[in-house]
Structure 1
Amino acid sequence: MSPESPQMPSYAQRRKQRIDALADASIDREPGVSLVRTAWRRLRRDPVFLIGLVITVSFIVLAVVSPWLAPWDPAARPLLDAVRPQSNPVPGPEAGHLLGGDDRGRDLLSRLLVGSRQTLLVGVLATFFGLIGGLVLGTLAGAFAGWTDSLVMRIVDVMLSIPSLLLAFSLAALATRPSQWTLIIAIAVVQVPVFARLLRGSMLGQRASDHVLAARSLGVKRRAIVFRHMLPNSVGPVIVQATLVLAVAIIDAAALSFLGLGNPDDRSPEWGQMLGKAQPYLGEAPHLAFYPAACIIVVALGFTLMGESLREALDPKTRR
């Protein structure tokens, strides 16, 4: 071979070049997409999620602006002169009163609008407090093995063994004076074991993950591993579950108010309370019960549709 001829690459060099070429051809040059963005791409094409989102957003906006949107004060009695116990106990619709009034001459539409705020307040606060309690118990059970996990899970099992509505009814009945906070606390306690068990299962799955094992091998403290690695990666399913629990909280609050365990002051209306007050007039004026019941059903359906769609979109097993 003459000195001017190019040197032939060796076998090892040719093999390396071939491997590099195959690697370059198989690499996707597009940037990676996060889990949230992937889920949103699916959700914005999902009609079930969009229907639930429209219902939920409409309910929240209506609850916020209801005091200014209501045509009458919910405690005022503009139709009192039209109430006649024998012939006309419940005034019907008329000019200025689209849905008529109740047995005390109060505007029904105004009470429905203002009652949406009270219903939203009870559902959101009960779900929030239940979520906080579930996060505490679930973190303790998932982060610490041994007797701590066993103790927390036995408490959760006892709470789950009692029907949720029965447990909430028992807790609310213990209050000497029913109030709105009675509903919130009773429903929040019922929701705690749901969040605790879900978070505990997610954190147990994170205990054996590679990044947690790597952090332990590097000597990272347990507190940092729990709050920086395990908890942030486990809380996603719990947040999604909160949207489903919110629908249940609204239904439970309405049930307890219907039974007389909510706020006894009907000057601050709430849909479940209105449903209970309408019970004596079901035969003469069924619309008094129909309107608040329909509002409860539609709002709970909206949160349920949105929560189920979120859970499917964020679940890696359901992705295609």
Structure 2
Amino acid sequence: MTVTTPRPGAGRRDRIDELAARAGQLSDGDGGESLLRSAVRRLRRNPVAILGAVIVVAFLLVALFAPLLAPRDPYAQSLLSEVRQGSIPGSRDGYLLGVDQLGRDVLSRLLYGSRQSLLIGVVSTVLGAVLGMALGILAGGLGGKVDTVVMRFVDILLSIPGLLMAISISVLLGASQLSLMIAIAVTQVPVFARLLRGSMLVQRDSDYALAARALGVRRRRIVFGHVLPNSLSPVIVQATLSLATAIIEAAALSFLGLGDPDISRPEWGAMLASAQSVLSIRPELAIYPALCIIVVALGFTLLGEALREALDPKFRR
């Protein structure tokens, strides 16, 4: 019969893993409830969260299925022959929202424009989150001189107004969709870096992290195995809020002519800019894309704020 001898310190390390797992949970009055389950329960009871989720889901569905929902080709100048000086056709059969100054169906262009807003918002937010989290991990995980250098760099980025920085980067890189994403991502880097760094500093001084260091566990395992996973909740919330900011900034840069150089491609900010020349004739051409931007940004903001309250222990009831 073979007897397996446990490795020295194995029991204590298992105990550290258990403490780290419990750090991601919060006790409840009825014996304990995980943070995720508690957050989902409170989100389902929050009408603001439900409204935000409905708007976000509707936006995602419209963006994904725009080719199926659009009644016409957004590039086709089907009613260009009816556009006159001082007169643009409005709503009629087959054209629910009318056409723009080039005879293109407005509804179809709005639906296709949601795809561009979603693409720019998601890519720029993911890119900004990855770069910001990398800096946050360096600062919060290593500390010391690395923390000082990284955070001074982050402070420099924070000292520059976000929109001004995005405009400067877009001008330097040239007008393109890629430069637009990079410009917006750079403005979000310091936010994610400071947020993750602060959260990791709190977790780094918790009981399980102190016990792991006392046992001689490698810093890499402590940071990436326990501290980082337990510090991601605020980052997830911020990513939801940053999506709303990214969509607004993308529309602003496109409005200024720093977005996609292909002006025929449907994009809400570009549509808003092109409508400025016909405001006295058809103000609806500016109102429709503006409403789309406002509603979508509102949806992500409401959902993000509801997530923040649901994941914050101070708001638990």
TM-score, normalised to structure 1, is 0.89
46-55 or 29-38: bigger deviation:
29-38
The residue aligned with 1:13 is none
State yes or no: 1:296 paired with 2:277: no
State the 1:80 CA deviation: 1.0
Aligned-partner Cα distance in 2 for 1:256–1:218: 53
Aligned-partner Cα distance in 1 for 2:189–2:126: 10
The residue aligned with 2:239 is 242
Within the candidate set 195, 199, 203, 2:192 is matched to 195
State the 1:144 CA deviation: 1.2
State yes or no: 1:186 paired with 2:170: no
State yes or no: 1:263 paired with 2:264: no
| Matched AA of 1:197 | R
State the 1:266 CA deviation: 2.6
| Matched AA of 1:117 | R
267-276 or 46-55: bigger deviation:
267-276
Indicate the RMSD between aligned Cα atoms, in angstroms.
1.3
Contact 2:86 2:281 in 1 (8 A): no
Aligned-partner Cα distance in 1 for 2:240–2:50: 15
| Matched AA of 1:239 | I
Aligned-partner Cα distance in 1 for 2:173–2:144: 36
Identity over aligned pairs, percent? 63
State yes or no: 1:125 paired with 2:126: no
User: Per-residue displacement from partner, 1:168-203 (whole Å, max 9, x unpaired)?
Assistant: 011101123x11111100000100000000000001
TM alignment of 1:48-63, pairs within 5 A = 48-63=48-63
Aligned-partner Cα distance in 2 for 1:48–1:239: 18
The residue aligned with 1:67 is 67
State the 1:281 CA deviation: 1.1
Structure 2 runs not aligned, ≥5 long: 1-27
State yes or no: 1:216 paired with 2:213: yes
Structure 1 pair 82–29 and aligned structure 2 pair: CA distance change class (3 A): closer
State yes or no: 1:34 paired with 2:34: yes
Within the candidate set 269, 274, 298, 2:271 is matched to 274
The residue aligned with 1:148 is 146
User: Per-residue displacement from partner, 1:252-277 (whole Å, max 9, x unpaired)?
Assistant: 00000000000021332110111111
State yes or no: 1:166 paired with 2:143: no
Contact 2:49 2:303 in 1 (8 A): yes
Counterpart secondary structure, 2:263: coil
The residue aligned with 2:45 is 45
State yes or no: 1:317 paired with 2:311: no
State the 1:30 CA deviation: 5.8
TM-score, normalised to structure 2, is 0.89
The residue aligned with 2:10 is none
State yes or no: 1:205 paired with 2:202: yes
State the 1:39 CA deviation: 1.1
Structure 1 pair 29–142 and aligned structure 2 pair: CA distance change class (3 A): closer
The residue aligned with 1:232 is 229
| Matched AA of 1:288 | L
State the 1:94 CA deviation: 1.4
Find runs of 4+ consecutive structure 1 residues off by over 2 angstroms. Answer: 28-32
User: Per-residue displacement from partner, 1:75-117 (whole Å, max 9, x unpaired)?
Assistant: 1111111111x242x2211111111101111000000000000
User: Per-residue displacement from partner, 1:268-303 (whole Å, max 9, x unpaired)?
Assistant: 211011111111111211101000000000000000
Aligned-partner Cα distance in 1 for 2:143–2:122: 32
Aligned-partner Cα distance in 2 for 1:191–1:290: 28
Structure 1 runs not aligned, ≥5 long: 1-27
Number of equivalenced pairs: 290
Aligned-partner Cα distance in 2 for 1:243–1:232: 18
| Matched AA of 1:94 | R
State the 1:222 CA deviation: 0.8
Aligned-partner Cα distance in 2 for 1:87–1:135: 52
